[in-house]
Structure 1
Amino acid sequence: MMRGSLAELEAVLAVSSRGGFRAAARELGISSSSLSQQIATLETRMGVRLFNRSTRSVILSAAGEQFVASVGPALEAIRSAVEHVDEHRAEATGTLRINTSVGATRMILTPLILEYMRRNPQMAVEIVTEGALVDVNAKGFDAGIRIREAVPPDMVVVPIGDSIRPAIIGSSDYFRRHGKPQVPADLQNHLCIRARMASGTIYRWEFERRGESFALDVPGKLVLDDSDLMLRAAREGAGLAYLSEWQVEDDLAAGKLEQVLGAWTPPYPGLCLYYPGRRNIPAKLRRLVDLIHEIRQSGDVEKP
C-alpha cells in the first residue's frame, strides 16, 4: 500500500504552485535539498515521476497534474479541519521568535508584545534585534517586524501602526548659536548628527515636497549608529538629528527640542508584521495577528 506523509504531499503542492524548488522551500520553511528529497522519496514510493526537471524549469508531468488535481482539495480540507480545531485550543504554547530592529522594539514592546504575553501566559517570546534585514525563514524566526518599505516582496504583511513621520530636531541652544534652516539646502551650513546604517553606509536625509523627492548627504563631524545616542547628542546641542516624531515628541512638548523643516518631511508607511506565505500559520502567530488588528482599531501602537 502506498503511503505518503502530509509533508510530502504539501511539498508537491508547494513546488507546483511556486513553479520551483527554491521558492517552495521558502514557503515551507525548509531547505531546497530537503524539499527535493521529500519529493524524490514520494516519487520512488509511487513509482512515477511527478515533475519534469531541467536546469531552467520544473513542471508537472501528466501524472503529476492528475495527482495534484486529486490531492489538492483533500489537503485543503485537512488544513481547514486543523485550523478549526486549533481555534478551540485553550492556550497557545511554545516560543514565538521575532526578528526586528531596536527602534521598532521600542515602539511595539509595551502595547503589543507585553499585551500578547499577558493574554497568552503559556507563551514565551524571543525578540532578536538587528539593524540589517535577515531572511526570517532561513534564520528560524516565526515573523519579522520592520517598516513597510523594508519588507521582502514575497511576505504576508500585516500593518501594525499608522505612518511614521520623520523629524529634524535641535536644541534651543543650538538654534541660538547657528540659526534655523529654512530649506533643506541650508543644512550644508549646519552641524548634522549623521547616522551609520547596518550596511555600513551613511544615511542620506530624505525629503519630499510638492511631489518632489530627494536625499541629501548632510555634513557633520559626529556619526552614530543608535537613535537614542543621536537624541542625547541633539539635546546637548551637538547638532541637528533626523529621527522619528514619536521618539522626540516628549522633548518637543517640553520645549527641550525644536523641530525644523517639517513641511519637507512627510510621513512614510509605518511598521508591519511579516511572515512567509504559508497556507496555514501557527496558532501562536495567528493570535499575534489578531491582537494587531484589535490594537489598530483602538489606535494604541503609535507611541513606544
Structure 2
Amino acid sequence: MVEKHLGIRIFQRTTRSVSLTEAGAAFVARMRPALLEMDRAIESVNQFRDKPTGQIRINTSDWAAERIFPIVLSFMTAYPDVAIDIVSDGRLIDIVAEGFDAGLRLAENVPQDMIALPLGVDEALIIVAAPAYVACRTSPKAPADLLHHECIRIRLPGGGLLRWEVQSAGEQSWIDVHGRLIVGSSKLALQAAITGVGIAYVDARQAQPYLASGDLIQLLPDWTPPYGGVCLYYPRQRLPSAAFRAFVNHFKTHRSISSSAEARSPNATAEHEIAEP
C-alpha cells in the first residue's frame, strides 16, 4: 500500500527473502525518528489506560461538592498520580460539551442519557428561624402561613429564586414566599436567620449545629421530610481512562447507600459497572 501510494518500489522481494531497495532504505532512514516518536507517543497514552494518572474534572455546586469532598480527598491519597479539578459554579451544563468527566447533581436533575450513582446520603431542606423572631410573631402552623412572614430567599445560579417545597402525607406544595432579603447561598440565609431577620429554608446539615445550640428552631418539621440526595453521573464510555475507572470504583466503595438514596433519577440510565477498556 505504501509503495502504491509513493509510486516507487521500496521492497525487493524474492521467493526466499524481502529486502529494502535503495529508495526503501532512504525512506526508512528518514522515517525512523518519526517511528520512534510514535512509539513514545503510544507509550505515553498507554499509561492512561493501564495506570491511574492524569486529571479528572467534575462539575458541581458548592453545596454538592461538600458532600463528595471526603471521597475526593481519600481518593487523592490512594492515587497520588491523579489530579482532581472540581468546578463548583452550580450551573446545569452539558458536562460532555464542556469537557468534564463527571457531574454531581440531585437525582431529579440528572440528564436522561447519563449513568447515575447515588451518593447514598439522605438530604433535606428545612424551615428555620431564630427564637427571637418567633417570639415576636405567630409561629406558622401550615405552609400557607409563611406568606404572612418575612422570609429570606435564595437566588439560584441560573438567576431564579428558590421555591420552598413542602410535603406531608403525600400532599406536596410549592410556596412563593416574600421577604426583603435575597442571598446567594444557604449559608448566608442561615446567618441572616440566626440574627432574627426572618425565616429561612436551608440545608438541614448546615443548620444542625445551630439547632443543637438553640440559635435556631425548626418550623413545620412535618412538612420537610428527607429525600434521596445527590448522584455522581457520567456518560457511558467504551474506553474510560484508568484514572476515571479508579475514581468511580472508589466512589462506589466509599459512599453510604440508604434505602431512600437508592431512588435514582427516573431519567437516568440504570447503574452499572463502568466499562473496561
What is the TM-score of this pair, normalised by structure 1?
Answer: 0.66
Please say if 1:219 is aligned against 2:178.
yes
Residues 47, 53 of structure 2: 8 Å contact kept:
no
Provide the alpha-carbon RMSD of the alignment: 2.3
Q: Match for 1:223: what amino acid?
A: I
Taking a change above 3 Å as real, the CA distance of residues 154 and 257 of structure 1, as seen in their structure-2 partners, is: same
Residues 130, 196 of structure 2: 8 Å contact kept:
yes
* Match among 192, 196, 221 for residue 262 of structure 1: 221
Correspondences of 1:181-196 after superposition (within 5 Å): 181-196=140-155
Aligned-pair identity in percent equals 41
Distance 1:256 1:199 in 2: 31
* Structure 1 equivalent of residue 128 of structure 2: 169
- Kindly indicate whether structure 1 or structure 2 has the higher relative contact order, using CA contacts under 8 Å at least 6 residues apart: 2
What is the TM-score of this pair, normalised by structure 2?
Answer: 0.72
Task: Provide, for residues 239-297 of structure 1, a one-character-per-residue CA deviation record: whole Å limited to 9, x for no partner.
Answer: 11111211111111121111111111122220111011123432222222222222224
Kindly indicate which of the two structures has a greater share of residues assigned to helix.
Answer: 1
Please say if 1:95 is aligned against 2:55.
yes
Q: What is the CA distance between 1:86 and its match in structure 2?
A: 8.5
Please say if 1:281 is aligned against 2:228.
no
Distance 1:168 1:216 in 2: 12
Residues paired across the two proteins, number: 216
Taking a change above 3 Å as real, the CA distance of residues 134 and 298 of structure 1, as seen in their structure-2 partners, is: closer
Moved over 6 A (4+): 85-88
Task: Provide, for residues 70-124 of structure 1, a one-character-per-residue CA deviation record: whole Å limited to 9, x for no partner.
Answer: xxxxxxxxxxxxxxx99995x5111110000011112221x21111111111111
Correspondences of 1:13-28 after superposition (within 5 Å): none
Distance 2:101 2:49 in 1: 21
Instruction: State the secondary structure of the residue aligned to 1:178.
Output: coil
Please say if 1:130 is aligned against 2:89.
yes
Distance 1:169 1:210 in 2: 21
* Structure 2 equivalent of residue 22 of structure 1: none
Structure 1, unaligned runs of 5 or more: 2-84
Correspondences of 1:61-210 after superposition (within 5 Å): 89=50, 91-109=51-69, 111-210=70-169
Instruction: State the secondary structure of the residue aligned to 1:127.
Output: strand
